[in-house]
Amino acid sequence: MRGVVLHAPGDVRVEDRPDPTIIEPTDAIIRVTAACVCGSDLWPYRGVEKLDGPVAMGHEYVGVVEEVGSQVSTIRPGQFVVGSFWASDNTCEICRSGYQSACIHRLLMGTIGTQAEYARIPLADGTLVATPGMPDADLVPSLLAASDVLGTGWFATVAAQAGPGKTVAVVGDGAVGLCAVLAARQLGAERIIVMSRHAARQDLARRFGATDIVTERGDEGVARIKELTGGLGAHSVVEAVGTQESMTQAIGSTRPGGHMGFVGVSHDVSLPGDELFFSLVHLHGGPAPVRQYLPELIDLIWNRQIDPGQVFDLTVPLDQAAEAYRAMDERRAIKALLLP
Ligand SMILES: [Zn+2]
């Protein structure tokens, strides 16, 4: 099969890789209908994250089940499925508490590489959720978004306790930040402020429900959020970048007693204890337990109540994956969809 392999920073190739086979009796093999490039794939692509030799890439996927192992009982060949970027059993105590991304048997799908024609899905019964039927083609991008960016934005927004009467601020205008805007709207937030300097992303944020745009960053960005919230800061703040600047900005934008949900993969962030102490802010975040939200998100997409697939503003054949990475790296594309 064909699959994306990152050889070195900036060196993306589409190569022949071995066809996946059932290894564990709890595995399924899917034919990938659509995959995509994640903002987090850009960390190794840019050389920020260390790379040990060539690695298969990709952790977001939707597809059709081809084959299942002998112990798989609920997932069947022929089903269209969506799964999280963490494989999880969905039965252990941590999973049952809603934290499937910390499942005691978890496995990161990025170690398998779903930017490919086929993928092995471990713990298939726990990881995958089947759609009610074969989706119309126009629903596929939204279902793919549920696999990571929508689920991650959703978790951040829930962690930030967005809801009716609340003002939500979103730091980061990538696909996750934009999906957090959509989530905040769905959860009934009264006012949604997105921090963005990029015209196309501002437009999409407004379509997803943003009421205010803040273009300032750092201390000026914090001051602007305070100005918009009567000097108090937002009730709920989503951090969707993962840098020192974005974390500092997010904490500073949250009012005392407010909640901050952080889902940008943290890179070289250190928080000063004294500032944290005096902030009186609730912090909750980490790798999102997307699996917890999949049934609800699939339902909203299937019934055409939300259209998160709009985050994909570039679609290319799998063989042109290198261009997809370049476009995202250069911020020419918000998010690139790959068609195997
Ligand atoms: Zn588990």
pLDDT at 52 over 90: no
Ligand 1 centroid–CA 270 distance in Å is 30
Percent of the chain with pLDDT over 70: 100
DSSP string, 17-85: -PPP---STT-EEEEEEEEE--GGGHHHHTTSS---S-EE----EEEEEEEE-TT--S--TT-EEEE-S
In the predicted model, is pLDDT for residue 50 greater than 90? no
Q: What's the gap in Å between 104 CA and the centre of ligand 1?
A: 5
- 100 CA → ligand 1 middle, Å: 6
How many A from CA of 87 to the centre of ligand 1?
Answer: 9
**pLDDT above 90 coverage of the chain, percent:** 95
Q: Is the pLDDT score of 40 beyond 90?
A: no
Which residues lie closer than 8 Å to 337 by C-beta, 6 or more apart?
34, 35, 36, 141, 144, 312, 314, 315, 316, 324
Compute the mean pLDDT over every residue in the chain, rounded to the nearest whole number: 97
* Region 72-90 average pLDDT: 97
Q: How many angstroms is it from 130 CA to the middle of ligand 1? A: 19
